[in-house]
Amino acid sequence: MLLVLAALPVLLYRMGAFLPHTMGQSDMDWAREVERENSTGHESAEGVIATGNGFSVVGYTNSRQPGVNQAWVLRFDKAPPPRWQRTYAGNGKLGTSGHAISSMPGGGLIVVGAERVPGGGFQGWLLALSPEGDVLWERTPGHEGVNGLNAVSVLEDGSIVAGGAQEREGWVVRMNSRGELLWEVKLPQLEHVTALVALPAQRVAVLGTAETSTVGPGISRLFVLESDGRATRETRLPAEGQGELNALALLPDGGFAVTGRLLRPGAMDPSVWVARLAPRGETLWEYVSEATEVGSGHAVTALADGGFAVAGYSWKELLVDREARVWRFSADGNLLWQQAHGGAKDDSGSGIARLADGSLVVVGTTMSKGAGKTDLWTFGLSPEGQLLWEETFGAP
C-alpha cells in the first residue's frame, strides 16, 4: 500500500506528460488537482514493536514536506504523547516509506522500507537508529526498480535480516550490526516476502506470497533459512486453494501464528484467516471469519499464555470503507474476543504488539478521526480488550 501511495505523484506526473494529447483541459485540471490533494495531509502507521516498557512505531508522512514521503518513527513510553518522533528522507532526499521496525541490542532501532530513486523507481532501504532516534547508518542494498523491504528481525548475534522484493522475486538480506552485507538470497518461489522472524542458531523463518493477482488472493509459502541463507524447509499455505498470509509470529513452543486472508471454496471474496502452525509448518488449527465478512489480518503478536492477538480490517457494507478489527485467540484456537474500532470512514489496523505490562497496542491508519485526510492512528487495549487510550497524529 505504501508503495502505491508513494508512487501516486509520480504516476500523475507521467500522466501529465501525455494527457494533453488524449484529454481535455478540464480533465488535466482534475488530474493536477488530485495530485495536489494527495501531495500532503497523509500519514500512516505500518508497524509497531515493544521497546522497553513502551513501544515504537514506524510509518510515513507527506505533510512535513509536501510531495515527498518521509519515513516517520515515533517512540512512546506506555502511552502517548511520544517521547520523541522524527522523520527520515533517505540518502537521495527523494523520499522514503517505513514498512517495518525491530529492536536492536542496547535499545536502538532498525527500520526498513523503500527509498524513492530518480526516474520514479524504488529500492530497499535500511536505517539504524540510536535509542534517541539519531541515525547510526543507512543502507540501500539491491537494485533500483519497483523494489523494497517489508519485514525485519534481529538475530541472537545482533545481525539483521530483512525481507522484501527484488525484481518480482522474494528477497532476503543479512547484515551485521554495522550494516555490512553478510549475504543475500533470492526466493524465486515467492513474488515478495511479507514477514520474517528470528529463530535460534541464527536461522530465520520467512513468509511470502506468490501467484498474486488483482482479482483475488494467490498462495503463501513459509521457508526456514539456515544461518548461511540456505533454504532447508518449505511449506505451502494453504495446502489447497487460495490464501495470502501477511504476518508471522514465533510462539513459545517454536511454532508460529500467522494471519492474512483466505478464499473459501465457492466464496466470491476472501475472509480473515488466522492459523497456528507447528514448528515444522503443519497447520494445527485455523480460523476463517464468516463468509459474509470480507477482510484481512495484517499483524499478529504472541501472548504470554501461548495465545496470540491479531489486527487487521473488515470491509463495511458494499466494500465502501473498512473498520479496524482486533481478535484474541487462545493457544488451542478459541476466539476469546473480537472488536471493531474506527468510525464512519475508512480505518485499518496494520500493526499490533504486546507490551511489558501485558496490554496491547494497535497501530494503523484512520480517516474517521484526527486532523488530516489520513492520520497515523494508535490505541491501547487491556488483555480483555478494554480500550485504554487512543491517539492520532497527522496534519490537515
Regions of the chain with pLDDT less than 70: 1-37, 92, 318
Query: Residue 370: its pLDDT value, please?
Result: 94
Between 25-38 and 2-18, two packed helices, what is the crossing angle to 10 degrees?
Answer: 150
Position 16 in a domain: yes
Evaluate whether residue 389 is within a structural domain.
no
Residue 76 lies in a domain: yes
Give the pLDDT score at 82.
98
Task: Decide if 72 is inside a domain.
Answer: yes
Give the pLDDT score at 216: 86
User: Does any domain span residue 295?
Assistant: no
pLDDT recorded at residue 12: 31
Note the pLDDT of residue 3.
37
Please report the pLDDT score of residue 18 as a whole number.
32
Number of domains observed in the structure of the chain: 1
pLDDT value for 6: 38
pLDDT of residue 2: 37
3-state secondary structure the chain: CHHHHHHHHHHHHHHHHHHHHCCCHHHHHHHHHHHHHHCCCEEEEEEEEEECCEEEEEEEECCCCCCCCEEEEEEECCCCCCCEEEEECCCCCCCEEEEEEEECCCCCEEEEEEEECCCCCEEEEEEEECCCCCEEEEECCCCCEECEEEEEEECCCCCEEEEEEECCEEEEEEECCCCCEEEEEEECCCCEEEEEEEEHHHEEEEEEEECCCCCCCCEEEEEEECCCCCEEEEEEECCCCEEEEEEEEECCCCCEEEEEEEECCCCCCCEEEEEEECCCCCEEEEEECCCCCEEEEEEEEECCCCCEEEEEEEECHHHCCEEEEEEEECCCCCEEEEEEECCCCCEEEEEEEECCCCCEEEEEEECCCCCCCEEEEEEEECCCCCEEEEEEECCC
pLDDT at 215: 82
Cell of 318: 458494499
Domain containing 89 equals 1-139
In a domain, 33, yes or no: yes
Q: Is 197 inside any structural domain?
A: no
Question: Identity (one letter) of the amino acid at 131?
Answer: P
Q: Is 214 inside a domain boundary? A: no
